[in-house]
């Protein structure tokens, strides 16, 4: 009897582990796809090296020696080899943090029972697709436009910042104006949509948990960025 029980228990645990392992691997593969897509589109469409050279060449207040410029370009080429890995790690960390933020929202709303953190990680990864599309749109627009490196660095498509000249506004306002954009609004909607699908909560509860937890974290992040900008610029 004990032998039969342990066999059944072992089979159940094996199937459970295999299912969750495959589920997690599929989600990670989606992040890999995001990273490779961003890398390939940027590699074939963007001439970042040319923009950097033009930015250095256009500086009149100080003269940069040629050997320093060549060393900087060589370092940029070296680290560019690892850009896919860096992008993947950044996306992974971000999605993990978003999952934790959503779980915290569930916890404080006393709705966290029967909700696994892995499901919320899936919500974060699926919702991230719209921000990846925003990055691809940015690359395409910059590739067909006449952008300097500084303009490329602050440009964000369909944001409030595109209505202004970045060189004429306070540097503290650049990131907040970037953050107010159409893609961010769609991202919030996707968070609520996938969250509701994964948790089975009502649309009202889902919107309340997601928007309160995510917007609170977003405001905290914005204040942190503004603090760093104020102290290091």
Lowest mean pLDDT among 43-52, 56-65, 204-213: 56-65
Domain boundaries, the chain: 85-232
Residue 140 tokens read as 């395409």
CA distance 136 to 123: 21
**What pLDDT, in 10s, does the model give residues 66-112?**
676 777 778 888 888 899 999 999 999 999 999 999 999 999 999 88
**What pLDDT, in 10s, does the model give residues 103-161?**
999 999 998 888 889 899 999 999 999 999 999 999 999 999 888 888 999 999 999 99
pLDDT exceeding 90 applies to what percent of the chain? 56
CA distance 119 to 38: 25
To the nearest 10°, the Cα dihedral for 175, 101, 134, 149? Answer: 40
Torsion-angle region of residue 110: left (phi > 0), alpha (psi -120 to 50) or beta? left
Residue 82 tokens read as 């690892």
């Amino acid at each position: 009897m004990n032998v039969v029980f342990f066999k059944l228990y072992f089979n159940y645990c094996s199937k459970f582990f295999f299912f969750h392992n495959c589920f997690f691997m599929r989600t990670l593969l989606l992040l890999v796809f995001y990273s490779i897509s961003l890398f390939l589109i940027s590699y074939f469409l963007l001439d970042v090296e040319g923009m950097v050279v033009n930015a250095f060449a256009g500086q009149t207040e100080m003269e940069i020696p040629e050997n320093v410029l060549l060393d900087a370009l060589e370092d940029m080429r070296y680290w560019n080899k690892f850009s896919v890995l860096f992008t993947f790690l950044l996306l992974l960390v971000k999605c993990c943090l978003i999952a934790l933020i959503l779980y915290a929202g569930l916890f404080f709303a006393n709705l966290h029972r029967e909700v696994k953190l892995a499901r919320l990680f899936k919500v974060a990864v699926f919702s991230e697709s719209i921000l990846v599309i925003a990055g691809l749109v940015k690359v395409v627009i910059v590739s067909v436009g006449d952008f300097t490196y500084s303009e490329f660095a602050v440009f964000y498509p369909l944001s409030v910042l595109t209505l202004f000249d970045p060189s004429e506004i306070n540097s503290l306002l650049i990131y907040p104006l970037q953050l107010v954009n159409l893609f961010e609004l769609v991202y919030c909607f996707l968070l609520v949509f996938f969250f509701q699908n994964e948790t089975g909560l009502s649309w009202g509860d889902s919107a309340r948990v997601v928007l309160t937890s995510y917007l609170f974290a977003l405001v905290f992040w914005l204040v942190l960025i503004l603090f760093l900008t104020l102290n290091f610029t």
